[in-house]
Structures are given as structure tokens and as C-alpha cells.
């Protein structure tokens, strides 16, 4: 055939059905380089937030996480170190990983605050958290947390999403995806932000990652209006809004019927419907005037120092009380990041958070909600045992050994788990990594970490993503009963030597 008779279409058709095309297709198949489908294949073609039963009977059905962004000093709050006190201002001769090398020193710095035992369990806590001491028998203090990544962003990501890199679903998104929500009038996942600003990482802290957008967190702001755009404009109020939403719903569902695998569209329809119902339900949950004066006093809402954080803790209780699955309360950007001036700054932030945090545990307990509500308090790291900035003493980052506490939701109260070394630098006993923490959370919610997954074009994604994460059985109720009884017997013998 004359060369002038060839066209581009003729050339491509010849290649597609000829030997060259067959060979190319075979090579692509061998390299698994075929074009991926527009959406991953999955038995569920639409998503909603209706409640779904877990694989087995759960201990916890809701969670409140108080995230202390910046890194609370475990050495000054939760982890007394007599050896550090004995060696105060001596030089540390071991290896330390500093984040701030410019202000680093090797001088050991003992806690300026005293520790004493609290509760029947005899848990040792700092004088900076006296209200927490009042609920010591209801909390489990973990003194052996470890992420091993010294920067704020990466360690926050590790604790909140499972990996140090950004872009992955957060804990609240995973729980909303796996279990849905007990209420259809409020979000499954809410984030209560601080008036001092967003935490490090900003909105990534409550992102849905590669899960459908339905599972991202809804922000409840620290000032009015706490939820933006909750009220329709004047011209759309009443029947006008109802007609508009009905028309929009009809159009969306017609489009969805023609594109049944468009998960983002299905999620958007669900979000619109929930937003309309929230106009009434959210106003109710945010109206704290319905709470008694005694409850306001319990949370410290009647005091300037605790009013703001106490308000958010009370809102969190009202949210889970109405069926919200996951509530996260954030302190502001670097509020606990005491590289200098720790002797002034740490007592200030403790005054703000201690009373409301303990009140949340006590209030949930008196309402019969603590058994099924898992409460978390902690940050992304602890602090080093040496001085940073000798002219204005602070402590540098430490992600190799730090503390956090849990309460309720199947966790044993009055329990201390794990330990750091004699100076509080490294976790050395019963170490709990972020993967262990996540495996334990999913276990408490009746979920199998291996089964909570989402299909992606790059493979199946999960919270643990193949990482080793062990359930920390020692902090669960049954295994800890013996430990707690030993602590109780020791405490009684100290009061009555003949016991």
C-alpha cells in the first residue's frame, strides 16, 4: 500500500490488533502496568454513617481524645525519678538525641515539683495535677510510650494516623468508617480546636486521607459560631430551604444512579442530609445553659483559668452522650512545647487543663458512660532529663520514652503500665509503640486490626498497614485486676502495718 494511504487512525488500529499490540499488552500484563479502574473494586458501593456492629462484643463504643499538642513533660507530671533528683545539675554521660542542638546541654535537671501517691492504687503524680489525682483509681497511666521520631509533625502523625508521613486517615476517620455513628443528626467525628490556634499539622489532624470524605472530622470552633454556616440565610429559612434541599437531593440521586461507583458523590449526599439535621441537633448539644451550676463548677467553667478548656470538655461529654463516635479536643499550637521557661509555663497550662480533664472522667463515670467511653490524655512526645537553654531553663523533645493516660472503655483503672530508665530518657519496660496503641484501641472497639481496611488502587490500606502492633493486654480490665490488688494491698499495709 502506498505510504500516502496511511493515516494515524489506520496505524493505531493496525498496532492494536497486530503482533506488536499483542506483545505490548503481554509485557504490560507482566509488569502489572494495566490501567487501574476509575475506582477500587469493593463490595460496598456506597457509604453512610449508619451504626455498624463490630466483629465482636466491644468494650468501648465512643472515644474522647484530649490531645496535648507540643509534648507534656512526663518527668514533671507523671514519672518521678529519684535518681534524677540525686544527680541534679550533674553531667549526663550517655547518648542523647537533641532536637535543638543550639540550646542543648548535658546538665541533668530534676523536677522542681513534688510527687505524691494518690488513690487506693497509690499512683504517684505531680503536685501540678492534683485534680487528676482525685480520679487516679479510674485511669491507666502508661509510662512507656515511644514513637522514636523527634519532630512534632512526624510524631503527631504517628500517633494520629499510624505513620510519620502526612496524607493518611486519622483515628477518628477510621472509627467512623468501621463503625458508623449512633446518631444521624450529628457528625461521627468532631474536632474541638483551641482559641490559641490550630495544632501543628493544622487540618491534617482530622483529615479522612484516602477514605471517603464523609469520614473527615467536623470542626467545632472555640468561639461563636462554633459551627460555621449552621443557620441558613434569611431568604432560605423555613419552607424555602426545604424545597431547595429536596430539589438538590433529587438531582444528586439521579446523578448517583447513573454513576453508582462514585463514592465521593454518595458521601457528599450523606453530608448534605446530615448537615440539614444538624441545624437543630447541633444547637442543642452546644447549649450549655441546660447544664446545672454544679456541672459548670465541676468543669471549672466558673473560673477564668479553666473556663475555655472546661467548656470544650463538657461539649465533648454532651457529644458522646448523644451518639457521636469520636471527639478530639486539641490544645493550641505548641502549648506544651517548653524549650524554655518551663518553671513558669508548665504550671500555667496545667492550671488550664487539669481540673476539666479530671472532671470529664468523673462526670462520665457518674452518668454511667465511662464503661463504654474511652478517654485519652496525652501529647506526641515527652521531654528530656537535661537542661535546654541554661539562662531560661526548659526541656527538649523526647519521643523515646514518655507518658499518657487512658480511662474507661475497657481499660483498667488504678493501673500503671511500663517504665522509663532511671533518668526518664528511654522506655525500657513494657514499651508501647504507636502501633501497639492503635491495635489496642481497635481491640477495645471490638475490631480486628487486620480486617479494618480500605481498598486503594495502590493496594489495601489500613491503620496498621502491615506494621507489628500488639494489643497491650496488661492494661485491659481482667489482666490488670491482679496488679491493682497488689497495689491496693501495699497501700493498705502502709496505712495499717498489721494488714
pLDDT in tens, 222-256: 988 888 776 666 666 666 666 766 666 677 777 76
Q: Quote the cell numbers at residue 468.
A: 507489628
Name, in order, each residue with C-beta under 8 angstroms of 358's C-beta and a sequence gap of 6 or more.
131, 132, 134, 135
Same domain as 414, residue 273: no
Same domain as 317, residue 298: yes
Query: What are the backbone dihedrals phi and psi of residue 91, each rounded to the nearest 5 degrees, phi first?
Result: -80, 135
Q: What would the mean pLDDT of 284-292 be, rounded to a whole number?
A: 93
Residue 50 falls inside a structural domain: no
pLDDT by residue (tens digit) across 306-356?
A: 999 999 999 999 999 999 999 999 999 999 999 999 999 999 999 999 999
Element holding 248 (H helix, E strand) = helix 239-258
Is the pLDDT assigned to residue 458 strictly greater than 90?
Answer: no
Same domain as 196, residue 276: no
Is the pLDDT assigned to residue 18 strictly greater than 60?
Answer: no
Residue range of the domain that includes 270? 231-285
Element holding 83 (H helix, E strand) = helix 82-86
The count of structural domains within the chain is: 2
Same domain as 199, residue 302: yes
Q: What would the mean pLDDT of 199-221 be, rounded to a whole number?
A: 93
Query: What are the backbone dihedrals phi and psi of residue 146, each rounded to the nearest 5 degrees, phi first?
Result: -155, 130
CATH number, domain containing residue 430:
3.40.720
Adjacent-strand bridge partners of 328: 65, 191
Q: What would the mean pLDDT of 133-141 be, rounded to a whole number?
A: 98
Same domain as 260, residue 111: no
Residue 416 falls inside a structural domain: yes
Separation of alpha carbons 408 and 64, rounded Å: 10
Q: What would the mean pLDDT of 153-160 be, rounded to a whole number?
A: 96
Banded pLDDT at 160 (limits 50, 70, 90):
very high
Residue 28 falls inside a structural domain: no
Same domain as 222, residue 251: no
415 close to 120: Cβ distance less than 8 angstroms: no
Residue 6 falls inside a structural domain: no
Same domain as 253, residue 384: no
Separation of alpha carbons 216 and 219, rounded Å: 10
pLDDT by residue (tens digit) across 362-407?
A: 999 999 999 999 999 999 999 999 999 999 999 999 999 999 999 9
Q: What would the mean pLDDT of 43-72 be, rounded to a whole number?
A: 87
Same domain as 241, residue 123: no
474 close to 417: Cβ distance less than 8 angstroms: yes
pLDDT number for residue 40: 37
Separation of alpha carbons 436 and 142, rounded Å: 12
Name, in order, each residue with C-beta under 8 angstroms of 204's C-beta and a sequence gap of 6 or more.
157, 166, 167, 170
Same domain as 270, residue 149: no
3-state secondary structure of 100: coil
Q: What would the mean pLDDT of 94-119 be, rounded to a whole number?
A: 94
Sign of the CA dihedral running 425, 427, 432, 434: positive
Looking at 285, 309, 330, which one is the last position of a domain? Answer: 285
Residue 347 falls inside a structural domain: yes
* Helices (H) then strands (E): counts for the chain: 14, 19
Same domain as 334, residue 264: no
Residue 244 falls inside a structural domain: yes
pLDDT number for residue 9: 54
pLDDT number for residue 493: 30
415 close to 484: Cβ distance less than 8 angstroms: yes
Separation of alpha carbons 268 and 337, rounded Å: 38
pLDDT number for residue 491: 32
Adjacent-strand bridge partners of 404: 142
pLDDT number for residue 84: 98
Residue 3 falls inside a structural domain: no
Same domain as 74, residue 193: yes
Residue 43 falls inside a structural domain: no
Adjacent-strand bridge partners of 374: 63
Amino acid at each position: 500500500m502506498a505510504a500516502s494511504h496511511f493515516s494515524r487512525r489506520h496505524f493505531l488500529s493496525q498496532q492494536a490488533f497486530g503482533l506488536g499490540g499483542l506483545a505490548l499488552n503481554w509485557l504490560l500484563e507482566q509488569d502489572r502496568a494495566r490501567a487501574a479502574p476509575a475506582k477500587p473494586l469493593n463490595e460496598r458501593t456506597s457509604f453512610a454513617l449508619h451504626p455498624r456492629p463490630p466483629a465482636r462484643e466491644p468494650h468501648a463504643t465512643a472515644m474522647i481524645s484530649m490531645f496535648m499538642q507540643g509534648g507534656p513533660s512526663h518527668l514533671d507530671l507523671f514519672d518521678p525519678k529519684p535518681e534524677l533528683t540525686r544527680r541534679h545539675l550533674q553531667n549526663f554521660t550517655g547518648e542523647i538525641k537533641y532536637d535543638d542542638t543550639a540550646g542543648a546541654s548535658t546538665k541533668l535537671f530534676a523536677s522542681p515539683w513534688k510527687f505524691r501517691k494518690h488513690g487506693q492504687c497509690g499512683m504517684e503524680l505531680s503536685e501540678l495535677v492534683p485534680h487528676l489525682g482525685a480520679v487516679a483509681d479510674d485511669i491507666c497511666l502508661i509510662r512507656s510510650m515511644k514513637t522514636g521520631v523527634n519532630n512534632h509533625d512526624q510524631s503527631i502523625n504517628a500517633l494520629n494516623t499510624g505513620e510519620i508521613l502526612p496524607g493518611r486517615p486519622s483515628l477518628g476517620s477510621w472509627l467512623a468508617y468501621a463503625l458508623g455513628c449512633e446518631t444521624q443528626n450529628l457528625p461521627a467525628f468532631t474536632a474541638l480546636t483551641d482559641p490559641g490556634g490550630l495544632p501543628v499539622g493544622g487540618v491534617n489532624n482530622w483529615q479522612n486521607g484516602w477514605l471517603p470524605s464523609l469520614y473527615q472530622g467536623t470542626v467545632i470552633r472555640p468561639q461563636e459560631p462554633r459551627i460555621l454556616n449552621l443557620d441558613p440565610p434569611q431568604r432560605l429559612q423555613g419552607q424555602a430551604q426545604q424545597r431547595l434541599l429536596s430539589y438538590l437531593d433529587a438531582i444528586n440521586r439521579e446523578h448517583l444512579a447513573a454513576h453508582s461507583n462514585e463514592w465521593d458523590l454518595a458521601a457528599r449526599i450523606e453530608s448534605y442530609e446530615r448537615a440539614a439535621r444538624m441545624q437543630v441537633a447541633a444547637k442543642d448539644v452546644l447549649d450549655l445553659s441546660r447544664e446545672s451550676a454544679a456541672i459548670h463548677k465541676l468543669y471549672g467553667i466558673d473560673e477564668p483559668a479553666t473556663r475555655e478548656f472546661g467548656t470544650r470538655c463538657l461539649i465533648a461529654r454532651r457529644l458522646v452522650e448523644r451518639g457521636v463516635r469520636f471527639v478530639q479536643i486539641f490544645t493550641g499550637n505548641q502549648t506544651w512545647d517548653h524549650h524554655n521557661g518551663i518553671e513558669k509555663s508548665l504550671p500555667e497550662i496545667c492550671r488550664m487543663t487539669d481540673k476539666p480533664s479530671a472532671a470529664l472522667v468523673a462526670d462520665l463515670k457518674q452518668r454511667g458512660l465511662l464503661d463504654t467511653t474511652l478517654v485519652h490524655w496525652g501529647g506526641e512526645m515527652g521531654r528530656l532529663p537535661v537542661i535546654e537553654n541554661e539562662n531560661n531553663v526548659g526541656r527538649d523533645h523526647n519521643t523515646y520514652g514518655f507518658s499518657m493516660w487512658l480511662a474507661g472503655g475497657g481499660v483498667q483503672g488504678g493501673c500503671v503500665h511500663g517504665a522509663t530508665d532511671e533518668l526518664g530518657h528511654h522506655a525500657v519496660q513494657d514499651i508501647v509503640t504507636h502501633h501497639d496503641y492503635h491495635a489496642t484501641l481497635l481491640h477495645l472497639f471490638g475490631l480486628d486490626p487486620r480486617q479494618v481496611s480500605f481498598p486503594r488502587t495502590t493496594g489495601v490500606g489500613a491503620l496498621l498497614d502491615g506494621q507489628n502492633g500488639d494489643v497491650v493486654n496488661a492494661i485491659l480490665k481482667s489482666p490488670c485486676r491482679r496488679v491493682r490488688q497488689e497495689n491496693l494491698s501495699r497501700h493498705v499495709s502502709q496505712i495499717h502495718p498489721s494488714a
